[in-house]
Amino acid sequence: MPNKIEYNEISNAKVTDTRSIVISSCSKGGFTIAQRMDVKEGERTTPVFMKGAFHVDNLECLYNLRDAINLAIKKIEQEEIDDSAWDDEEEVEDEEWLENQE
């Protein structure tokens, strides 16, 4: 009988009201990143792991995943700053246009 694969949760992050991303170490090596849904049944909450988890081979690959997430955050934050600056420029241009109309 083959050995049963065991997972030990390292960390999790809530991504919606009912779902979390869970990072676990795997007894066969590496890490697993899975999506967990918390199903409420009366007063009891049951964690249900969704199909489609993926395996990360080692710590270096986990670093690469971290770097990809950080880069995505940086790009999104920069887009928001750029959009905000664009809105400010439009506001100034609109005010100048209004002043020229008077």
pLDDT digits (tens, 9 = 90+) for 33-70: 999 999 989 999 999 999 999 999 999 999 999 999 99
50/41 Cα distance (integer angstroms) = 17
β-strand partners of 26: 7
pLDDT digits (tens, 9 = 90+) for 73-97: 999 999 888 777 665 556 666 666 5
DSSP 49-99: EPS--EEE-SHHHHHHHHHHHHHHHHHHHHHHHHHHHHHHHHHHHHHHHHH
